[in-house]
Chains A and B, each alone.
Chain A
Amino acid sequence: VRITTERFHEQARAALADPELRAALDRAADGFVRRRSDAMAALPTLEALRSQAAAVKAHVLDHLDHYLERFAEALEAVGGHVHFAADAAEARQLVLDLARRYDVSTVVKAKSMISEEIGLNQALADAGVRAVEGDLGEFILQLAGDVPSHLIGPAIHWTRPRVARLFAEHLGSDPEADAQALTEVARTALREVFLSADMGVSGVNFAVAESGSLVLVENEGNIRITTGAPRVHVALMGLEKVLPRLADVPTFLALLARSATGQAASAYVSLLTGPRRPGEVDGPEHLHVVVVDAGRSAVLADPALRDALRCIRCGACLNHCPVYQRVGGHAYGWVYGGPIGAILDPGLLGLPRTRELPQASSLCGACSEVCPVKIPIDDLLVEHRRRAVERGLTGRGERWAMGAFAFLGERPGAWAAAANTARAATRLRRDGDWLTGALAGRLPGLGAWLRERDFPAPAARSFRQRWRDGLRHEPSARRDAVGFAGTGGAGIDGYGTGGAGSGGAGIGGAGTGGDTDGEGQA
């Protein structure tokens, strides 16, 4: 799998310059945000559900070894098999071994981020196994040799006209086809694959420890066929996907569908418990679940980062992130982008190569606000930044500047002197009340700002100077006093008199001023 997390800056700039990406993101985001908001507004128990979901996930993570063992036992008891993979390479090898064992020539795949994470398609192709994506978005990406840019809408960066051109080129369809016709084209092309596949590979939304059940949600129906029609079903899951009881599932289904697409329920929810049993007419003969670690246990062992593993991959944080909405998922350089990627990727790939990602946030907190399992995403972004500093991964210039900033910050006289000098120097370059783009590149520190937008010229005098120069003792206008003093005339000095009882109207301090409307004013 290609990992380019180091190049966030240039990838983000390239994304900003791509009008087609812009159109695609705008179109998708509006719908996601509005539909989620409507769905959540109609859910009076939302906050209780979020708290419950967060608590269940936190509990599972605290006892993950226990629940994974229970899950494995339960699944084996109904005829399934569980394999544990320490890393991506082991996970790939396990799937390849299964393909060989069952003499598989065609694999049909459901959308699975973890299969993207471990680079399964390439591994299967290298082994001579035909693997076809059965999810429409993934099908588009596979035809184009592209990679997903969103957790639930992998081809969200593709516009319809571009898909029409792609299908025309590869499948001979009408280059002007509309969305419905394009879906029909994909459906026809996939039908043969679904019917001929020997193995279906899927992800897992939730794995239930008490029953060994796998829960998968979708809207297209392809997962149903992928997991039911072929002889063999292989499900890949991150080790954090387990839930204790079946009774926990509805809470998560309610939150996942609403958070992801604003639906009250996904079109299809599959609850798969073991392979086909005697007397059943469909379902796979063999069911294997590959539980993948690939860095997750290290995150689990890190109390400050563990909360990131609560994620149920709904994508709401991406849809509400102002940065993701501008640059899209590819800028982040790996499978998991957006806010969740920025906190998860450093845990899974290590901070040195992902250190740019936690910086790519204004810390607006919209992600944490919408997270259905209450991951404190913005706090974790800061935690990664803190670690980057601690490990010396930030630039020397920034460290020096912060040191100077703190040094001066504890020395008010020097602070004010330095600020006055900087202000005066900057004011020399002003054009009226503003510093403009003409100065970009010529003002150290402000150059980056001025390339993109204007900057207000610093005031001639700081607040501190104005306080000393008169504001401190300025006779103040009081609404409870008689007459308005404006800003410099005669009036009652609220400061000098302690602010109580000095007014003509006899109001003793502002607390009793209440909501009354300017009584006693001339």
Chain B
Amino acid sequence: VRVAIFATCLGDQLFPDAVVASVRLLRWLGVAVTFPEAQTCCGQPAFNAGHHAEARSLARHHLRVFAGSDPVVAPSGSCAAMVRCHYPPLLEREAEHLDAARALAARTHDLASFVTDVLGVSDVGADLAGERVTYHDGCHALRLLGVSEAPRRLLRGAGATLCEAPGHDVCCGFGGLFAVKHPEVSAAIAAAKHPGIDASGAATLTSQDAGCLMQLAGSLRRTGRRIRTVHLAELLWDGIARANGQPREGGSRAP
């Protein structure tokens, strides 16, 4: 099995540890990983803001970068959903790109679903025994891709204690540009999740989406909360290292 990693622009710039962990996790599971270096951004910020000419330019670029037939794996539900759900309608009137868009949509996956559904692995061989973890459902993973079980299965498979937070499926308020266009509302939405996260009793908050984690970690930290916030891929890779007698890697960001 060979896949192309779709680092996503947030992953590339702000959460490289999560992408590195994703690559290592995939290789650990016997998957060869390529990184098409010309990748930039899938265009979601432009698409969501209504700048569809710009979004189409970026989508065409993304199609060229990820040409071929390898599955594409992103450590993000939101960016995977952009390609899977929005590329085909976005390029509907471009006959020369539409087939490629549909094909790419079909072979683009979020990391957790790729591991559980394509590789058929629930237990990645990580040791998270005794870790109290709460999983935040990114909205696009949950509602556009229908992903809610895959990440939880991986956490349970690693022996983590899953502590569901009330409101785990409610938006964190990030919303891309929304977070800076409406900063007060965006932050108020994040703050509304704090009581649920507190009540979960978890020591670690994880998600598949860097955007949500950035929002929640920044908001939790601003209010003095000290729960560890870490991307699912890093959490799993840490657990694999621990299972194999390695000290935990740095890079996990505790607010």
> A residues touching B (Cβ–Cβ < 8 Å)?
9, 12-13, 16, 322-323, 325-327, 359-366, 368-369, 382, 384-390, 394, 398-399, 402-403, 405-406, 408-410, 412, 415, 419, 423, 433-434, 437, 445-446, 448-449, 451-456, 458-459, 461-464, 466-468, 471-472, 474, 476-480, 484, 486-487, 494-495, 497-500, 503, 507, 509-511, 513-515, 517-518, 521-522
Contact = CB atoms under 8 A, between A and B. Distances in A.
Contact of A453 (B16, B28, B190, B246): B190
A326 B188 contact: yes
B189 to A, nearest CB: 4
- Tell me which of B34, B185, B190, B241 has the highest count of chain A C-beta atoms within 10 A of its own C-beta: B185
A365 B140 contact: yes
A464 B37 contact: yes
Contacts of B37: 412, 464, 467-468
B45 A405 contact: yes
B40 A471 contact: no
29 contacts: A13-B184, A360-B182, A362-B175, A362-B178, A362-B189, A389-B52, A394-B50, A398-B49, A403-B54, A405-B45, A406-B43, A406-B57, A409-B40, A410-B57, A433-B253, A437-B222, A453-B218, A454-B219, A456-B214, A462-B13, A463-B19, A472-B35, A486-B246, A494-B27, A495-B33, A498-B2, A500-B1, A500-B30, A513-B120
B179 interface: yes
Contacts of A385: 48-50
A323 B222 contact: no
A442 B176 CA distance: 21
Closest 9 CB pairs of A and B: A362-B175, A385-B50, A484-B244, A499-B32, A452-B187, A510-B30, A364-B171, A406-B54, A476-B27
B135 interface: no
Given A12-B185, A409-B58, A453-B215, A494 B48 contact: no
A92 B142 CA distance: 45
A515 B182 contact: no
A400 to B, nearest CB: 11
A9 B182 contact: yes
A451 B183 contact: yes
B84 to A, nearest CB: 14
- Tell me which of A461, A463, A466, A509 has the highest count of chain B C-beta atoms within 10 A of its own C-beta: A463
Contacts of A517: 123, 125
Contacts of B253: 433, 456
Contacts of B176: 362-363
Given A403-B54, A495-B27, A515-B121, A456 B244 contact: no
Nearest to A452: B187
A510 B29 CA distance: 5
A9 B181 CA distance: 9
Contacts of A503: 30
Contacts of B214: 455-456
Contacts of A406: 43, 46, 51, 53-55, 57-58
Contacts of B182: 9, 12, 323, 359-360
Given A405-B45, A455-B214, A463 B28 contact: no
Contacts of A16: 184-185, 188
A448 B183 contact: yes
Contact of A412 (B40, B175, B219): B40
Interface of B: 1-2, 7, 9, 11-17, 19-20, 23-24, 26-35, 37-41, 43, 45-55, 57-58, 61, 118-125, 139-140, 143-144, 170-171, 173-176, 178-190, 192, 214-215, 217-219, 221-222, 240-241, 243-246, 249, 253, 255
A518 B14 contact: no
A479 B28 contact: yes
Nearest to B175: A362
Nearest to B35: A467
Contacts of A434: 218, 221, 255
Contacts of B186: 362, 452
A510 to B, nearest CB: 3
Contacts of B35: 464, 467, 472
A515 B50 contact: no
B30 A402 contact: no
Nearest to B217: A456
Given A16-B188, A362-B171, A453-B218, A477 B121 contact: no
Contact of A12 (B11, B39, B48, B184): B184
Nearest to B223: A453
A363 B221 contact: no
Contacts of A468: 37
A363 B31 CA distance: 34
